[in-house]
């Protein structure tokens, strides 16, 4: 799989130093049950929950809905505009050169229906609608970008939780082994096979191993809190990561990944839509220089005047019924250079958007290449970790045999075991760091997870 620009997901990693933890008999297996009451979840389940519940997606969804309504508003200008005005007129005599009896003020009522239809606007409406449509498309791709970011952040939070689960499992086993070593040292001291400083040193290392378990367990709870956050929950849930294998199908050339990112990354597609939107707005401002052709129709009906004036039938009160139609051609001549300045302003905004898009493309290309090289480096680092673990295992076994024969002291045995534990936990950390780098690389490229339901792009 290959996979948007965003902030780099930083995972705090825990490293175990030889001076901070000395343990014995650590298992070579990964995983295992931790605490009762935990909620087992898979990587696909976590990403699906994040996709369904994260409020950031709801924000982008409503922005898309607002842009959809804006398109409909702009398209409404294609239809005729019909208005009906009702007016209460107050007239005093004389009216039309006629004096009413006693010169009393009159209050006739007027109905003024109007009908207007734009016939041809030389591009104004077309470019305005086009800009709204492109803005809607940009919002739609930003929604896809939000979904992609939520999915891969959830994936990285899941890998972080699994990472601490493995470290906790190793730390618990190490603490047990340290306690076992302490008990054996007590027995050896009672039989005269050890000295009192050996017992003191064994106690110190056992206490440090217990502290290490507490620290890693606390980091595990923080990782669970991060997973609760990315899945959109407010109540804490003690998730436990249930791991499964995930295929890695990345091309062996970073340039291929960069080309894929230029085509697939929703962020870049959205920014290109915004560039086209700003260009359409430039044309819209320039169109204000052009004429405009409208069809109009006006009506006039007045009620409430005496029949002696209107010559209408008694009690009808009808006066001046009329209807007028025509075509109006409006030609702008001079507007104080406002159109010119608005056009130049729109061009400046367009140029800024194009530059922002170019910067985003450069940034994505850089992030993809950096992640790819980090991935290749991490693979080689894991190979070295395996070699170091094998060497530490052999060294521990040799020191243990020498210790059983009384050829080396307890300190040497502890140091050999500490080197083994450090190599073991370094391998754990680097394995999960490799997963997180792969997650980020797929995110930067714009690849969608294969096992998560998402709407069509």
What the block records as the tokens of 437 is 């780098």
C-beta neighbour count of 249 within 10 angstroms: 9
- Specify the pLDDT at position 55: 85
**244 and 156 housed in the same domain:** yes
Residue 39 lies in a domain: no
Domain count, the chain: 2
Q: Please indicate, yes or no, whether residues 384 and 344 belong to a single structural domain of this protein.
A: yes
Please give the distance of CA 212 from its chain centroid, rounded to a whole number: 35
Does 29 reside within a domain? Answer: no
Confidence at residue 21, expressed as pLDDT on a 0 to 100 scale: 34
- What is the dihedral sign for C-alpha 216, 219, 225, 230? negative
* Angle subtended by helix axes 410-445 and 254-264, to nearest 10: 50
Closest CA to 268 of 448, 452, 144: 144
| Domain extent at residue 212 | 47-77+122-287+336-443
CA dihedral (27, 32, 37, 39) in degrees, to 10, reads 140
Alpha-carbon span 92 to 84, nearest angstrom = 25
Q: What is the pLDDT of residue 8?
A: 37
Look up tokens 């391998």; give the residue.
427
Q: Indicate whether 67 belongs to any domain.
A: yes
pLDDT digits (tens, 9 = 90+) for 351-400: 999 999 999 999 999 999 999 999 889 999 999 999 999 999 999 889 88
The answer to whether residues 312 and 351 belong to one domain is no
pLDDT score, position 36: 55
**What pLDDT sits at residue 218?**
94
Beta-ladder partners of 113: 84
State how far the Cα of 340 lies from the Cα of 264, in Å rounded to an integer: 38
Answer yes or no: do 232 and 343 share one domain. Answer: yes
Residues 352 and 428 grouped into a single domain:
yes
- List the beta strands (DSSP E) in 286-367: 292-303, 318-330
Residues in contact with 15: Cβ distance below 8 Å, sequence separation at least 6, in sequence order: 425, 426, 429
Phi, psi of 246 (to 5 degrees): -130, 130
For residues 232 and 254, membership in a common domain is answered with yes
Q: What is the CB neighbour count within 10 angstroms for residue 159?
A: 24
Give me the sign of the Cα torsion angle 397, 399, 401, 404: negative
**In a structure prediction context, what are the per-residue pLDDT tens digits for the chain, which is 457 residues long?**
443 333 333 333 333 333 333 333 333 333 343 455 788 988 888 888 888 888 888 888 999 999 999 898 888 888 888 888 887 766 655 545 555 555 555 667 778 888 888 777 776 788 888 899 999 999 999 999 999 888 888 888 898 898 899 888 888 888 888 888 788 778 877 877 777 777 888 888 888 888 989 999 999 999 999 999 888 888 888 888 887 666 665 666 888 899 999 998 999 999 999 999 999 888 888 877 777 788 878 877 777 666 666 666 666 656 666 677 888 777 777 777 778 888 888 899 999 999 999 999 999 999 999 999 998 899 999 999 999 999 999 998 898 888 777 787 777 777 788 788 888 888 988 888 888 888 888 888 888 776 666 554 4
User: 87 — phi, psi (to 5°)?
Assistant: -125, 140
DSSP type of residue 42: E
Phi and psi, residue 37, nearest 5°: 90, 0
């Amino acid at each position: 799989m290959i996979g948007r620009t965003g902030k780099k997901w930083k995972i705090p990693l825990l490293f175990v130093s030889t001076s901070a933890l000395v343990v014995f008999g650590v298992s070579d297996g990964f995983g295992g049950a931790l605490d009762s009451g935990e909620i087992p979840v898979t990587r696909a389940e976590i990403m699906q929950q994040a996709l369904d519940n994260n409020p950031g997606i709801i924000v982008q969804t409503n922005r898309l809905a607002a842009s959809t309504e804006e398109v409909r508003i702009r398209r409404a200008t294609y239809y005729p505009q019909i208005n009906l005005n009702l007016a209460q007129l107050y007239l005093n005599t004389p009216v039309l050169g006629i004096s009413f009896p006693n010169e009393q003020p009159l209050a006739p009522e007027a109905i003024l229906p109007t009908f207007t239809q734009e016939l041809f606007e030389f591009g104004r409406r077309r470019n305005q609608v086009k800009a709204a449509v492109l803005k809607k498309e940009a919002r739609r791709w930003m929604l896809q970008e939000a979904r992609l970011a939520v999915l891969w952040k959830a994936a990285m939070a899941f890998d972080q939780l699994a990472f601490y689960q493995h470290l906790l499992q190793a730390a618990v086993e190490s603490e047990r082994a340290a306690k076992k070593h302490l008990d054996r040292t007590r027995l050896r001291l009672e039989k005269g096979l050890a000295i009192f400083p050996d017992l003191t040193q064994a106690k110190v290392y056992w206490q440090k191993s217990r502290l290490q378990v507490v620290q890693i367990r606390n980091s595990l709870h923080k990782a669970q809190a991060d997973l609760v956050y990315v899945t959109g929950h407010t109540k804490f849930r003690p998730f436990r990561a249930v791991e499964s294998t995930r295929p890695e199908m990345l091309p062996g050339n970073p340039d291929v990944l960069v080309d894929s990112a230029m085509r697939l990354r929703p962020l870049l597609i959205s920014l290109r839509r915004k560039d086209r939107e700003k260009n359409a707005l430039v044309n819209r401002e320039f169109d204000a220089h052009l004429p405009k052709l409208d069809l109009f129709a006006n009506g006039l009906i007045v009620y409430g005047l005496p029949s002696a004036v209107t010559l209408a039938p008694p009690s009808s009160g009808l006066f001046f019924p009329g209807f007028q139609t025509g075509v109006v051609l409006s030609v702008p001549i001079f507007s104080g250079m406002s159109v010119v300045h608005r056009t130049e302003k729109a061009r400046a905004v367009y140029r800024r958007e194009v530059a922002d898009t170019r910067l985003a493309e450069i940034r994505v290309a850089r992030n993809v290449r950096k992640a790819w090289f980090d991935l290749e480096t991490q693979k080689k680092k894991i190979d070295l970790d395996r070699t170091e673990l094998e060497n530490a295992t052999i060294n521990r076994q040799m020191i243990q045999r020498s210790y059983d024969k009384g050829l080396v002291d307890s300190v040497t045995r502890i140091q050999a075991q500490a080197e083994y534990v450090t190599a073991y936990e370094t391998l754990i950390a680097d394995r999960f760091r490799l997963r997180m780098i792969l997650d980020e690389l797929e995110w930067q490229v714009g690849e969608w997870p294969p096992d998560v339901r998402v709407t069509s792009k």
